Every structure is written in structure tokens, then in C-alpha cells.
Amino acid sequence: MAQYAAENDGVLDTRDAGDRARSDIEHAIRAHRSDNVVTLDFSDVRAITVPFADACLGRLLTERVAGFYESHPIVLLNANEDVRETIGLALRYRNLVALVLGNGGPPALLGADEVLEETMNAALELQDFSAIDLALRLNLTPQAANNRLRQLLRNGALERERVNPRTGGREFRYRVPAAA
């Protein structure tokens, strides 16, 4: 995101600029190998407007949820507190979430409600876990844990890998994307 911030003294603004940035990011995603984590670095961004965040990240993450980029988790890096807050507002409007890491702040799930934040915090603590592990940690039923995990997976905040348990059946291991 630094290249866009440099054009305007560290400020990402206007819907048109957000559309251009999203288009560039989509081209870069198409060039990535499947399952590669896509990181968007906000190191040089001082501020972002809601129209930019919605046009760029809101639409990009909406397309990911719709299945266009589902094999590419998207993680935001090094966003300052103001940028995190603005992105969170834009994502909440669309019922989307994004994982943000770095810049001295704790990992956070932008746009999330309290339930998903609690789930993401438990995932960060567990690091590599099963739905049963999460259910035990949060005192949930396995079905409730699976429902929460499905939302985090759909939004790219978690990755999963199928494992073959000795007892048969289907089981998955979950983790935060490798950019974390």
C-alpha cells in the first residue's frame, strides 16, 4: 500500500484511488500460486478514508468471500491505530473481517463482533488446533466452534488442513495464516 500512500503524503483517499489499488492487487493475486498468503503492508500509510477502504478492501474481501480468491488468505500488516479503526468501520458495513498484524499492536480482527474477536484471540493463543480444541477453550459445543471457524475461514483469517485421524472420519487442523 506504500506506493499508493506515497502519491498523497501517506493518505489513502477517494473511491477512485481505492478502485485502482484493488485492481492492482487483483492482478498481483492472479500471479500468485494458490494458497499463498497475500499481505498488504500499511507501513507508510498515515491515514485512510472510508471510501478508499471500502472500494479497495471491502470489494476485494467481498470477492474473496464470493470465491474468487478463496485460496489466498489476505492479511493486513503494520496498520496504525487510526488506519485499523477506519478499515474496521468499512468492513463492518459489509459484514466482513480482516486479520491485521504488526506495527506494535496486537493481532486484531478488523470489522469483527465480540464473538468472532473472542474466537480469533483463542485461535491466536492455540496457534495450531482442532475444532474440539477450540470448543474446549471457549466452553462451546463442537458445532458452535465449527460455526465460528467457518466464518473465520470464509474471511481468510484462518487456514485449515485436512488430517486423517486414526479413528477414521474427517478432521481438520486450523492455524493463523503464515504471515502471522
Full residue range of the structural domain in which residue 23 is found: 2-175
Domain assignment of residue 180, yes or no: no
Predicted pLDDT of residue 180: 45
Please check whether residue 166 lies inside any domain of the structure: yes
Q: For the chain, what's the residue count?
A: 180
* Angstrom distance (rounded) from CA 180 to CA 63: 22
Ranges of H-type helices in the chain: 2-6, 15-31, 50-53, 59-65, 81-93, 114-126, 131-138, 142-154
Q: How many domains does the chain have?
A: 1
Q: Lowest-confidence range among 31-40, 94-103, 123-132?
A: 31-40
pLDDT in tens, 40-82: 999 999 999 999 999 999 999 998 877 776 677 888 999 999 9
